[in-house]
Amino acid sequence: MKALVLGNLNYHMLQALQKAGVEYEDHNPLELYLYVSESINGYDRVYDGRAELDKPERLKIKDFDFILPRLSGQLEHRTVILEHINQNLGVYSPQTATALKTASNKILTTLKLSQAGIRTPKTVWAKAPAHPEYIIKNMLDGLPIVVKTVHGSQGAGVSILETQLSANTTLESFHKCEIDVKMQRYIDGGFKDIRAIVVGDKVVCSMERTANKGDFRANLSKSGSGRSIELSKEDQEICVEANKAVGLEHSGVDLMKDKDGTTFAIEVNGNPGTKIIDVTGVNFFEHLIEHCIRKAGGKPKQSAESDGKSSQVATPVVKQMPTSLSETDQALADLKAGKKISEYWY
């Protein structure tokens, strides 16, 4: 089996590819040339267009059994390349371009969750909210409210508005600056939320995150802390359904619980962060690659499930992770060069 890693290859993914015995090529979609032929029988192509090459090199697309997208940043160009290789050239991907774009858009995600009958906090979307007091009091259960920019991630673009004056002036500023935001009821979840990784129809690991002191956002990238937890069957189902609702076969789903224990789906991340791997000891890429191998008609060497590496039967792994960015780069380079994973991780 051979995988096309589209986007950022990280060492956990590399470790999982090596463990599964899957060959790979990794390409930055921004360095690929998309070629559409004039033939009505197909023959579309992709070229490696890295500047250091004397001439573009054609990618042997037929050699790839599946795509592993790891797309971050502006998705527009990146997802066109994904769509081309996935839909025009027929290589299986657990994440389609359309689904990734839906997941990256916080209002489209809310609509899809609602369409699928999944509970999400009361949300108002308005281009020019001329009645902020009415909206907050009558539609969002009063102050505080949460506002989110449509394409934010890692907590950036998510704010809390605690007074009517700050709400009025902030919403006016967003409107004048032409920044689209959604307004949402504030869920009093004790500054905690849940991140669960879904692969196919399973939650493979999950953690509870607690916001850093002085913040309400529990993102680990905002210095929140995480601990491995086991989700109830009902919450696992919500995650699996949320992943499906946006059209993905793999994602990181965020949940929140209010004081009476009601669960709300907050968002679906197409490019979930890898810190959950350190927190839970579960390398979710192993599950993802196994899923892709099966979808591509192959047989996984060893099942990540039977390996005991699901959080629901979590066995924390003793690791010696690279600690700095340069160490991480070195580790990735060594692994690519074929050095043994065990030198770094066990």
Binding residues (CB under 6 A) for ligand ADP: these are: 121, 146, 148, 152-155, 157-158, 184-187, 193, 216-219, 254, 266-267
- Contacts of residue 341, Cβ cutoff 8 Å, sequence gap at least 6: 15, 18, 19, 335
CB 270 within 8 A of CB 99: yes
CB 164 within 8 A of CB 136: yes
Q: Which is nearer to Mg ion, 93 or 269 (CB)?
A: 269
Does residue 208 interact with Mg ion by CB under 5 A? Answer: no
> Which residue of the chain is nearest ligand ADP when measured via CB?
218
Angle of helix 11-20 relative to helix 325-336, nearest 10 degrees? 20
Separation between Cα atoms, residue 310 and residue 185, nearest integer Å: 33
Q: How far is the CB of 190 from ligand ADP (least distance, A)?
A: 10
CB 287 within 8 A of CB 204: yes
Choices 93-101, 198-206, 251-259, 333-341; region in contact with Mg ion by CB under 5 A: 251-259
CB-facing half-sphere around the CA of 322: CA atoms within 13 A: 19
Choices 26-34, 129-137, 180-188, 260-268; region in contact with Mg ion by CB under 5 A: 260-268
Name the token pair of 116.
Answer: 């699928």
- Contacts of residue 163, Cβ cutoff 8 Å, sequence gap at least 6: 143
CB 110 within 8 A of CB 123: yes
Q: How far is the CB of 168 from Mg ion (least distance, A)?
A: 27
Q: How far is the CB of 72 from Mg ion (least distance, A)?
A: 14
Separation between Cα atoms, residue 26 and residue 99, nearest integer Å: 21
Separation between Cα atoms, residue 106 and residue 238, nearest integer Å: 18
Indicate which of ligand ADP, Mg ion, none lies near residue 121 (CB less than 5 to 8 Å, by partner kind): ligand ADP
Choices 31-39, 259-267, 284-292, 317-325; region in contact with Mg ion by CB under 5 A: 259-267
Q: How far is the CB of 157 from ligand ADP (least distance, A)?
A: 6
Q: Which is nearer to Mg ion, 158 or 240 (CB)?
A: 158
Indicate which of ligand ADP, Mg ion, none lies near residue 56 (CB less than 5 to 8 Å, by partner kind): none
Choices 177-185, 225-233, 250-258, 322-330; region in contact with Mg ion by CB under 5 A: 250-258
Helix extents (H) in the chain = 11-20, 75-83, 97-103, 106-115, 132-134, 164-176, 233-245, 275-280, 284-295, 325-336, 342-345
Q: Which is nearer to ligand ADP, 94 or 155 (CB)?
A: 155
> Which residue of the chain is nearest Mg ion when measured via CB?
254
Out of 26, 65, 235, 254, the only residue in the binding site for Mg ion (CB under 5 A) is 254
Q: Which is nearer to Mg ion, 5 or 266 (CB)?
A: 266
Chain centroid, CA 336 distance in Å: 24
**194 phi-psi bin (left φ>0, alpha ψ -120 to 50, beta other):** beta
Q: Which is nearer to ligand ADP, 34 or 256 (CB)?
A: 256
Q: How far is the CB of 150 from ligand ADP (least distance, A)?
A: 10
Q: Which is nearer to ligand ADP, 79 or 184 (CB)?
A: 184
Q: How far is the CB of 51 from ligand ADP (least distance, A)?
A: 33
Q: How far is the CB of 256 from ligand ADP (least distance, A)?
A: 6
Separation between Cα atoms, residue 250 and residue 201, nearest integer Å: 9
Q: Which is nearer to ligand ADP, 254 or 286 (CB)?
A: 254
Contact set with Mg ion (CB under 5 A): 254, 267
